[in-house]
Amino acid sequence: MRGWSDVKIARATGIPRATVRDWRRAGVVAEASRATCAACGGAEHDPLALDRPAYAYLLGLYLGDGHLARGARDVYRLRIYVDARHPRLAEGVAATMRRVLPDSRASLTPHRTDHMLVASQYSKRWPCLLPQHGEGAKHLRPIVLVGWQQDIVAEHPDQLVRGLLHSDGWRGTNRVVVRGKAYDYGRYQFSNRSDDIRELFCVALDRLQIPWRRMNRWNVSVARRDAVVALDALVEPKD
Ligand SMILES: [Zn+2]
């Protein structure tokens, strides 16, 4: 009966569940073994136990500009590059990795050449948490979220948008001169070569009721004044 739940033992034996539980505590019956994940060998994944807003943000960052690489003994390293001019943002990225996978440490190191900070974390669990991992560039293969990921991004579209904009987004200003007077309007642009990833961005904006416009093949723009105000409240600047 090792590995059986109290309920299963109670049903099979006719002994009340409370009695089985007392026996377990007393060591009469072996502890039910925790189920393990066949892919990574860790405890079975429970999407409900994840820090879901942190996950939605991290997924956006990963889909935008994250790299997952397999190392020795099937330990994977997740890396997210942040421009070195935005150290606070980079610290936030490393902290988000820790919130998603609290068991392993995330580090932040300067990149050797590129004026970048690299937030990274090693774990065997990343491929299960980021099943979009695969060979080749993300825009050359389909990027389809699995059911539990779809649930999370539906719950936290703001965090997905935040992650995508922090990695592949840009906020600029349009200056319009009317009768000699200059007016500045903020504008967001999201640029990604994967049709699937742009679609995820646009669906999340629709959920937030933020209007967007397709600019050209790889770019989506948010430029209406109320929409920019809504995004400003959601996406803190990259400093
Ligand atoms: Zn796993």
Residue 40 belongs to some domain of the structure? no
Average pLDDT over residues 37-48: 93
Residue 239 belongs to some domain of the structure? no
Identify whether residues 23 and 126 lie together within a single domain: no
Cα(40) to centroid of ligand 1, in Å? 4
Q: What tokens appear for 134 in the block?
A: 């695969």
Residue 135 belongs to some domain of the structure? yes
Average pLDDT over residues 229-234: 93
Assess whether pLDDT exceeds 90 at residue 208. yes
Identify whether residues 91 and 164 lie together within a single domain: yes
pLDDT for res 236: 79
Identify whether residues 88 and 11 lie together within a single domain: no
What mean pLDDT is reported for the chain? 89
pLDDT band with cut points at 50, 70 and 90 for residue 126: very high
Identify whether residues 77 and 157 lie together within a single domain: yes
pLDDT for res 33: 57
pLDDT for res 164: 97
Question: What is the per-residue pLDDT across 92-104, written as a single tens digit (0 to 9) for each?
Answer: 999 999 999 998 8
Rounded alpha-carbon distances, angstroms, from residue 76 to 60, 69, 97, 125: 19, 5, 13, 8
DSSP at 62: H
Cα(185) to centroid of ligand 1, in Å? 46
Rounded-to-integer distance, Cα 66 and Cα 76, Å = 13
The total number of structural domains in the chain stands at 2
Rounded-to-integer distance, Cα 1 and Cα 10, Å = 11
Rounded-to-integer distance, Cα 52 and Cα 57, Å = 9
pTM of the entire structure?
Answer: 0.83
Identify whether residues 25 and 55 lie together within a single domain: no
Question: What is the per-residue pLDDT across 49-106, written as a single tens digit (0 to 9) for each?
Answer: 999 999 999 999 999 989 999 999 999 999 999 999 999 999 999 999 999 999 888 8
pLDDT band with cut points at 50, 70 and 90 for residue 192: very high
Identify whether residues 20 and 84 lie together within a single domain: no
Residue 138 belongs to some domain of the structure? yes
Identify whether residues 187 and 120 lie together within a single domain: yes
Q: Check which CATH number belongs to the domain holding 192 and give it.
A: 3.10.28.10
Cα(191) to centroid of ligand 1, in Å? 31
Identify whether residues 116 and 195 lie together within a single domain: yes
- Cβ atoms of 151 and 52 within 8 Å: the answer is no
Identify whether residues 184 and 89 lie together within a single domain: yes
Residue 106 belongs to some domain of the structure? yes
Cα(159) to centroid of ligand 1, in Å? 24
Residue 38 belongs to some domain of the structure? no
In the chain, % of residues over pLDDT 70: 89
Identify whether residues 98 and 1 lie together within a single domain: no
Cα(77) to centroid of ligand 1, in Å? 15
Question: What is the per-residue pLDDT across 138-177, written as a single tens digit (0 to 9) for each?
Answer: 888 899 999 999 999 999 999 999 999 999 999 988 888 8
Cα(125) to centroid of ligand 1, in Å? 5
Residue 67 belongs to some domain of the structure? yes
Assess whether pLDDT exceeds 70 at residue 27. no
Identify whether residues 4 and 76 lie together within a single domain: no
Q: Which domain holds residue 92?
A: 47-234
Cβ burial 138-166 (10 Å sphere, 16+ → b, else e): beeeebebeeebeebbeebbbbbbbbbbb
- Which helix H or strand E contains 17, and what residues bound it? helix 17-26
Identify whether residues 3 and 66 lie together within a single domain: no
Cα(137) to centroid of ligand 1, in Å? 23
pLDDT band with cut points at 50, 70 and 90 for residue 178: confident
Average pLDDT over residues 182-197: 92
Residue 131 belongs to some domain of the structure? yes
Rounded alpha-carbon distances, angstroms, from residue 102 to 47, 50, 51, 140, 195: 14, 10, 10, 32, 32
